[in-house]
C-alpha cells in the first residue's frame, strides 16, 4: 500500500508494536531548554538512571533569558535558578550545551536547523509544543511534556499512538506582500485550532514548494496552533542545500547516501490521507488576529466579526469574551485598530528572512510616536550576526526600534519583555492567548512585514499598499 511520509518515518522508527495503533518509537534528536527539563533531570537522578544517548541532545537556554544587559546580574531569581540548573545538569550529564554567552545561543527551534541537527526523516522531540517547526525539513518533530523528556533521556523512545494523516495543499502562487505566516494563519482560520487534532499535517502544493526553508519553518511551527502535533514538508534540493556543511550535517563521505535516503521519504502517489484541505494561494491576503485564539483571524481588509455570526452558541460566547478582553467592537475595521507595542521575534518569525522583511518595509521611515516600543529579537546569535553584517540593525535603530539579544522574549513574556494591561501588540509570535504577552495584554498575530508596517503607521495597515 502506498505510504505517506509520516507512515515511512513511523515505520523506520518502530521498535515494538504495542497494539491499538500504539508503538514504541525510537527518538533520534532531542532539544533541551531550561523550563521543561529540570524536573526530568531530577527524575533521572532520583531513579539512578543515566541518559541513553548523549549525542542525541543539544541543550540551550532560551525561554527566560534576558534580551538585554546580559553582562549585568539578572534580577529574576527564579529564572536564574532554571538557567543555572540547565548548565549544571548539562555538565553533570556531559551534554552538548550552548551557554547564553555563546554566539550560537538562541531559540531551540532556530538553532536546531542552524546547527544541521534537524534533518529529514528523523524523529525529534523537545519539551516545547513548537517542536513542530522542524517538520519543515521532513522530520517528524513533536512537542512533549516533562515526563516524556525524562522518558526519552532514559530510554531513547516514546510510547506514541500513531496519528492520522492529513494533507493541506496550497495551490497557485502567493501574492506579493503575503508570507508563510499569512498562509499559516489562513489555514488555521479555515480548519480551526482543533482542526488538526490527532493528525500529522503534511503541507503540499506549489505555494509550499515555493517557500524558503525559513518560510516552511514558520508554517510547520504553527501546525500546533491548528491542533496537529506535527507538520511535514517533503524534503527537496532547498532542504539539502540548507543542511549541507552545517556542524551536525552528514560529512562528505556520507552525504550522498544521506541525500538519496532523504529523497526516498516523500509520500507516495496514491497514499491515503484521512483528511484533505485544499486552499488557493492566490486568494490569501495578509492576516491579523482579532481574538484570543489563533483561529480568530481575518484578512487585514476585513472587520472584527459579530459574535452572532458564529454558528455554535459556545463559539458565540467565546467570541464575545474575546472581544471584551481585546477591547474591540464587532464591525470595527481591522485597519482602525491602533498598536501600542510591536514584537518581532519568536520561533515562528525570528530568522534572517524575517529580519530582512522588516527592514525592507521600514527602510528610511520612523516608528509612529504613539507606538511605545518596537522590539526586534533575533532567533539566535547567528541570525543577529548575519543581520548586523547586512546592516539591518542600523535600519532598525534608525527607525527607533530596539535591537535585542536572542531568546523567546515577549512571545510568552517569561523574561522582562512584557506588554502592559490593555496594550495592543502587533506580534509575529504564535499565540494570542489571554495574558500570554503579559497580564491583560492584547496580542494580534501578524507576519513580520505586517508588524513592521503597523510600527510605522501606528495601526494595522495592508502592507501590500504600504
Tell me how far, at minimum, the Cβ of 314 lies from other proteins, in Å.
5
Q: Which of 101, 103, 159, 278 binds other proteins (CB under 8 A)?
A: 159
Interface stretch with other proteins, choices 224-232, 345-353, 362-370, 372-380 (CB under 8 A): 224-232
Helices (H), 363-447: 381-389, 392-398
C-alpha–C-alpha distance, residues 210 and 195, integer Å: 24
- DSSP state, residue 195: T
Using CB under 8 A as the binding criterion, the count of chain residues that bind other proteins stands at 78
C-alpha–C-alpha distance, residues 38 and 36, integer Å: 6
Q: Which of 15, 101, 103, 278 binds other proteins (CB under 8 A)?
A: 15
Site string for other proteins, 58-97 (x = CB under 8 A): ------x-----------x-xx-xx--x------------
Tell whether residue 112 is a contact of other proteins (CB under 8 A): no
Tell me how far, at minimum, the Cβ of 371 lies from other proteins, in Å.
24
Residue 137 DSSP SS3: helix
Following DSSP, what letter does each residue of 19-86 receive, concatenated? STTEEEEE--EEEE-TTTSHHHHHHHHHHT---S-GGGEEE---TT--SS-TTSPPS-HHHHHHHHHH
C-alpha–C-alpha distance, residues 126 and 381, integer Å: 20
Whichever of 151 and 356 has its CB closer to other proteins, that residue is 151
**What counts of helices (H) and strands (E) characterise the chain?**
15, 19
Interface stretch with other proteins, choices 39-47, 209-217, 299-307, 448-456 (CB under 8 A): 39-47
Interface stretch with other proteins, choices 155-163, 181-189, 231-239, 279-287 (CB under 8 A): 155-163
Whichever of 96 and 173 has its CB closer to other proteins, that residue is 96
Sequence-distant (≥ 6) Cβ neighbours of residue 81 within 8 angstroms: none
Q: Which of 68, 104, 315, 365 binds other proteins (CB under 8 A)?
A: 315
Chain residues 178-197 in contact with other proteins, contact rule CB under 8 A? 193-194, 197
Chain residues 322-361 in contact with other proteins, contact rule CB under 8 A? none
Tell whether residue 128 is a contact of other proteins (CB under 8 A): yes
C-alpha–C-alpha distance, residues 79 and 412, integer Å: 14
C-alpha–C-alpha distance, residues 457 and 465, integer Å: 12
Whichever of 57 and 110 has its CB closer to other proteins, that residue is 57
Q: Which of 3, 5, 6, 36 binds other proteins (CB under 8 A)?
A: 36
Following DSSP, what letter does each residue of 198-266 receive, concatenated? TEEEEEESHHHHHS-HHHHHHHHHGGGGGT-SEEEE---HHHHHHHTTSTTSPPHHHHHHHHHHHHTTS
Whichever of 12 and 386 has its CB closer to other proteins, that residue is 12
444 touches 432 (CB < 8 A): yes
Chain residues 267-296 in contact with other proteins, contact rule CB under 8 A? 293, 295
Tell whether residue 320 is a contact of other proteins (CB under 8 A): no
Beta bridge partners of 126: 31, 143
Whichever of 37 and 380 has its CB closer to other proteins, that residue is 37
Whichever of 23 and 378 has its CB closer to other proteins, that residue is 23
User: How many C-beta neighbours within 10 Å does residue 314 have?
Assistant: 8
Interface stretch with other proteins, choices 38-46, 101-109, 133-141, 275-283 (CB under 8 A): 38-46
Tell me how far, at minimum, the Cβ of 81 lies from other proteins, in Å.
6
Tell whether residue 134 is a contact of other proteins (CB under 8 A): no
Following DSSP, what letter does each residue of 167-193 receive, concatenated? EEEEES-PPTT--HHHHHHHHHHHH-T
Interface stretch with other proteins, choices 48-56, 164-172, 346-354, 446-454 (CB under 8 A): 48-56
213 touches 246 (CB < 8 A): no
Tell whether residue 413 is a contact of other proteins (CB under 8 A): yes
Interface stretch with other proteins, choices 44-52, 264-272, 336-344, 378-386 (CB under 8 A): 44-52
Amino acid at each position: 500500500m502506498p505510504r505517506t511520509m509520516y507512515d515511512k518515518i513511523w515505520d523506520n522508527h518502530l521498535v515494538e508494536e504495542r497494539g491499538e495503533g500504539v508503538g514504541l518509537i525510537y527518538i533520534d534528536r532531542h532539544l533541551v531548554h531550561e523550563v521543561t527539563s529540570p524536573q526530568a533531570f531530577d527524575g533521572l537522578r532520583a531513579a539512578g538512571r543515566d541518559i541513553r544517548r548523549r549525542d542525541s541532545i543539544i541543550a540551550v537556554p532560551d525561554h527566560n533569558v534576558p534580551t538585554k544587559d546580559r553582562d549585568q546580574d539578572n534580577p529574576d531569581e527564579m529564572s536564574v535558578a532554571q538557567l543555572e540548573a540547565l548548565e549544571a545538569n548539562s555538565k553533570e550529564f556531559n551534554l552538548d550545551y550552548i551557554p547564553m554567552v555563546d554566539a550560537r545561543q538562541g531559540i531551540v527551534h532556530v538553532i536546531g536547523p542552524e546547527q544541521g541537527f534537524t534533518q529529514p526523516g528523523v524523529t525529534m522531540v523537545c519539551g516545547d509544543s513548537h517542536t513542530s517547526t522542524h517538520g519543515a525539513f521532513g522530520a517528524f518533530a513533536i512537542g512533549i511534556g516533562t515526563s516524556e523528556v525524562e522518558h526519552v533521556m532514559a530510554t531513547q523512545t516514546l510510547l506514541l499512538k500513531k496519528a492520522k494523516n492529513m494533507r493541506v495543499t496550497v495551490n497557485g502562487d502567493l501574492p506579493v506582500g503575503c508570507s508563510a505566516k499569512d498562509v499559516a494563519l489562513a489555514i488555521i482560520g479555515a480548519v480551526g485550532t482543533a482542526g488538526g487534532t490527532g493528525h500529522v499535517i503534511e503541507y503540499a502544493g506549489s505555494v509550499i514548494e515555493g517557500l524558503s526553508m525559513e518560510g516552511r519553518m514558520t508554517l510547520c511551527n504553527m501546525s500546533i496552533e491548528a491542533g496537529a502535533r506535527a507538520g511535514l514538508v517533503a524534503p527537496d534540493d532547498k532542504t539539502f542545500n540548507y543542511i549541507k556543511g552545517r556542524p551536525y550535517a552528514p560529512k562528505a563521505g556520507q552525504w550522498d547516501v544521506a541525500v538519496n535516503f532523504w529523497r526516498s521519504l516523500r509520500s507516495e502517489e496514491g497514499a491515503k490521507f484521512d483528511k484533505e484541505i485544499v486552499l488557493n494561494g492566490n486568494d490569501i491576503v495578509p492576516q491579523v488576529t482579532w481574538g484570543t485564539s489563533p483561529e480568530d483571524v481575518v484578512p487585514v481588509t476585513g472587520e472584527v466579526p459579530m459574535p452572532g455570526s458564529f454558528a455554535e452558541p459556545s463559539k458565540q460566547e467565546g467570541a464575545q469574551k474575546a472581544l471584551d478582553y481585546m477591547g474591540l467592537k464587532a464591525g470595527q475595521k481591522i485597519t482602525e485598530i491602533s498598536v501600542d507595542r510591536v514584537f518581532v521575534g519568536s520561533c515562528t518569525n525570528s530568522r534572517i528572512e524575517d529580519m530582512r522583511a522588516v527592514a525592507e518595509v521600514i527602510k528610511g521611515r520612523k516608528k509612529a510616536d504613539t507606538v511605545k516600543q518596537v522590539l526586534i529579537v533575533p532567533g539566535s546569535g547567528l541570525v543577529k550576526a548575519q543581520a548586523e553584517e547586512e546592516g539591518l540593525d542600523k535600519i532598525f535603530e534608525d527607525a527607533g526600534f530596539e535591537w535585542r539579544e536572542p531568546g523567546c522574549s515577549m512571545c510568552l513574556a517569561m523574561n522582562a519583555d512584557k506588554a502592559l494591561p490593555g496594550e495592543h501588540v502587533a506580534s509575529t509570535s504564535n499565540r494570542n492567548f489571554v495574558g500570554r504577552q503579559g497580564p491583560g495584554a492584547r496580542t494580534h498575530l501578524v507576519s513580520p512585514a505586517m508588524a513592521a508596517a503597523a510600527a510605522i503607521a501606528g495601526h494595522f495597515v495592508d502592507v501590500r499598499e504600504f
